[in-house]
Structure 1
Amino acid sequence: MATLTPPSADALRATLPDLANDIIAAIVSEVPDYARAMEGRFGEVVRFGVEVALNRFVDVLGGAAPKSESSARDTYVRLGAGEYRAGRSLDALLAAYRVGAKIAWRRFVEAGTRAGFAPDALYDLGEAMFAYIDEISAESAAGFAEAQSDAAGESQRRRRALVRLLAQEPPAAEETVRTAAQAAGWSLPRLLAAVVAGEAAEPERTDELDGRAARLARRIGPGAVGAAVGGIAIVMLPDPEGPGRRKALEAALNGDLAALGPSVAWPEAATSLRRAAAAFRLAEAGRLTPPACGADASPKVQSCPNLVVAVEHLPALLLAAEPALAADLARSRLAPLDGLASGPRERLVETLRAWLDRPGQVQAVAAELDVHPQTVRYRLKQLRELFGERLEDPEARFELALALRAADGVRYT
């Protein structure tokens, strides 16, 4: 920045007492957002900012070090932050700076001309003035961005706290949840469902899961809130059965695996989460497949949404909830098959399951297994020899069907 001699700097400084008033009046006149805002505390802050800017500028031109550079910078950072907190864009403040620069430049040229400044000095003065405005504009922009970031961080912190309260077992007090929802700016819905989108074994990955949950919530759209809870990336989805909600969720997943819990009243959010988490773990282990992704998927399905819906897999969740009990069921009810070699055992298990799904329908079982009906009759004769009257007892058939499904999902010895 150009430097003036002390007498020249004094010539400019002499204009300052009235210049601040003229700049404030011009800002009120030319910047609509500030037409009514200059009263009270805000007007005092802006006036102080104008006075600091003018004195700082002349001090620097005169070669004097500003009294407190960090304090002066803080003034413009605070002005930028104040614009964000007031709900205005930064445009009004930057327009005010431009108006102030225009008025100050005009007065400085008049004072410089009276003081005998050379034309080159006046040009340098103009260049320095607008470079200075760019500098304080950048300082205010930094303040605006910092306040915006702080607000976003605080909002996300409150939403994380809300999600964790909703996921809490035993449930948090309703008044506590209502207060947290109000603080997070979230309307408690009549119904919600938990979405589980990731799980980490290491606690140090919580920040990563927080980010994943928050991004998924943003992609899903209005009302969704996400956070990491207990090493799980969770989104609480309001009105999960509303028009377009399922499609919005599938689109937001972008091919990633997720599980959707049942729709529940918000005080029961932990129940939905528990089911979604169980379904997610089974799907991640390859034991559940979204309908659109299975072998029978329609050829019209262009992509797999990778969304597992817990209510569509309740028997599997029931068995997985007590794996030791499921293993005992499979072991005890299928014990008659234990003495067979692996090949014959596999064929009889396949036939038993098809027959239990279609009792008495030999032709249908043969078509399902792609074998001759006589082969089915022969295998059924073997099964009757192994299981006896249990194949005719409805209760025993139910237990066998459940045992076969348990054997598909658990290892037992």
Structure 2
Amino acid sequence: MAENTVTAVTVEVPSYARAFSGRMGQTIENAVQMALGAFLRLAVRSHDSDPSATLSPALDGAYELGRGEARQGRTMDALLSAYRVGARVAWRELSSTAVAAGLAAETVARFAELVFAFIDELSAASVAGHTDELATTGRVRQRYLDRLAKQLLAGEAVETLKASADEADWHPPETLTAVLVAEAQTRGLAARFGQATLQLSEDLPGVDPSESLAVLLVPDLDGRHRGQLRSALQGRRALVGPARPWALVESSYRRALRARQLQVEEEIVDTEEHLVELVLTADREAVADLRRHALAPLAELRPNTAERLAETLRSWLLHQGQREAVAAELFVHPQTVRYRMTQLRELYGDRLDDPRMILELTVALGVSP
């Protein structure tokens, strides 16, 4: 049951996936076995025995787990989630055994009450340990972590960053990804991404304090792991920068900031999926000048006519001149496409066969005016 519990927690609480590997994983499994043993002893004890003697070792272990979370710079959200998952898995297996043994419904109900009361005791002990640790070294470390996050966003020298990381007892991951999210939506979020996650909500470079934004610097969720990042952000409005070597995460942050200018409706804006838009909007004045230059032949037409021809030209470029595909996209007859393209060739002449002109038109029509 302890193995099943640890497996379930690893799956359902992503920030523990790596923490449960190696020696730490065995330590956690031992703690789970101790807790289950204490519960079973509690369940079968005689009514006149002292429950505190039975519970004490498990509660002491839970207290130390809470302190450990604080030392790692994490909130209690992940650990409490782990307790809830553990309680569910344990109760599923224990209740199956109880029902199979033919216990009365009243006894099974009392058994359930004991399970969740016990989890509440463990949770309370861990919260107490977490609170006590924060009252001492935890708060000091958090100040060091906040300073490190500010230095990373400011693009400080690697030597400075390494010194601050050592002082904060923070072990640099391979990569960091900047995530911008409303400060009100950050509760419990950092805990889901692992102990190396940094979070900052004050003095963000390039952000007005009135916007109430926070940035999370998320470790090692690049490449095939990026889907986990998006999954954890569901239900939140977030801007996600690219993964960068940890000391260069400033560039990820700057790109996430730039993504605020994109006119997209997605709840989670992943900059890796909007590279074209980011490039084309990097210099909006230059884009406006390019549009005026490339679309100059349409300038003398009536606005509605110019808009229809520009729309047709854009589709013609994207579909590489395939008339039927253009007609399908624009919901018009292929003859209408032919007629419009005849007009455009009269306006542009041989320039529609010039690769440079094609490039300029493709870029110019690739962004909204």
Scaled by the length of structure 1, the TM-score of the pair is: 0.53
- Which of 160, 180, 192 aligns to 1:176? It is 160
Cα distance change of structure 1 residues 346 and 315 upon mapping to structure 2, 3 Å threshold: same
The Cα offsets for residues 23-60 of structure 1, whole Å up to 9 and x where unpaired, read as xxxxxxxxx99xxxxxxxxxxxxxxxxxxxxxxxxxxx
Asked if the contact 1:213–1:227 (Cα under 8 Å) also holds between the matched residues in 2, the reply is no
Cα distance change of structure 1 residues 251 and 154 upon mapping to structure 2, 3 Å threshold: farther
Asked if the contact 1:214–1:226 (Cα under 8 Å) also holds between the matched residues in 2, the reply is no
Scaled by the length of structure 2, the TM-score of the pair is: 0.58
Map 1:268-347 to 2 at 5 A.
268-279=248-259, 281-283=260-262, 287-290=263-266, 306-347=267-308
Q: 1:163, 1:247 → 2: CA distance?
A: 24
In the TM superposition, residue 253 of structure 1 has moved relative to its aligned partner by 2.2
In the TM superposition, residue 150 of structure 1 has moved relative to its aligned partner by 5.3
Which structure has the bigger radius of gyration?
A: 1
Question: Gaps (5+ residues) in structure 2?
Answer: 1-55, 58-65, 72-126, 208-212
Letter in 1 for 2:235: G
Asked if the contact 1:159–1:227 (Cα under 8 Å) also holds between the matched residues in 2, the reply is no
In the TM superposition, residue 241 of structure 1 has moved relative to its aligned partner by 1.9
SS in structure 1 of the partner of residue 345 of structure 2: helix
Aligned to 2:352: 391
Is 1:401 matched up with 2:350?
A: no
Cα distance change of structure 1 residues 391 and 149 upon mapping to structure 2, 3 Å threshold: farther
Cα distance change of structure 1 residues 331 and 261 upon mapping to structure 2, 3 Å threshold: same
- Which of 168, 175, 178 aligns to 1:191? It is 175
In the TM superposition, residue 222 of structure 1 has moved relative to its aligned partner by 3.7
Asked if the contact 1:192–1:266 (Cα under 8 Å) also holds between the matched residues in 2, the reply is yes
- Which of 148, 165, 168 aligns to 2:134? It is 148
- Identical-pair percentage: 40
Aligned to 2:11: none
Q: 1:346, 1:277 → 2: CA distance?
A: 32
Letter in 1 for 2:247: P
Cα distance change of structure 1 residues 183 and 339 upon mapping to structure 2, 3 Å threshold: same
- Which of 184, 196, 218 aligns to 1:237? It is 218
The Cα offsets for residues 315-360 of structure 1, whole Å up to 9 and x where unpaired, read as 2112322111111111221122222223222211211110000122
Is 1:225 matched up with 2:198?
A: yes
Is 1:256 matched up with 2:243?
A: no
In the TM superposition, residue 151 of structure 1 has moved relative to its aligned partner by 4.3
In the TM superposition, residue 213 of structure 1 has moved relative to its aligned partner by 5.1
Q: 1:215, 1:263 → 2: CA distance?
A: 22
Q: 2:252, 2:232 → 1: CA distance?
A: 20
Letter in 2 for 1:246: R
Aligned to 2:122: none
Question: Gaps (5+ residues) in structure 1?
Answer: 1-31, 34-82, 89-140, 199-208, 291-305
SS in structure 1 of the partner of residue 222 of structure 2: coil
Structure with larger RCO (C-alpha < 8 A, sep 6+):
2
Asked if the contact 1:214–1:227 (Cα under 8 Å) also holds between the matched residues in 2, the reply is no
Q: 2:129, 2:325 → 1: CA distance?
A: 73
Aligned residues: CA RMSD: 3.2
In the TM superposition, residue 146 of structure 1 has moved relative to its aligned partner by 5.9
Q: 2:313, 2:187 → 1: CA distance?
A: 47
The Cα offsets for residues 89-146 of structure 1, whole Å up to 9 and x where unpaired, read as xxxxxxxxxxxxxxxxxxxxxxxxxxxxxxxxxxxxxxxxxxxxxxxxxxxx999946
Q: 1:350, 1:288 → 2: CA distance?
A: 19
Aligned to 2:33: none
Q: 2:318, 2:348 → 1: CA distance?
A: 17
Q: 1:226, 1:360 → 2: CA distance?
A: 49
SS in structure 1 of the partner of residue 180 of structure 2: strand
Is 1:159 matched up with 2:159?
A: no
Cα distance change of structure 1 residues 312 and 248 upon mapping to structure 2, 3 Å threshold: closer
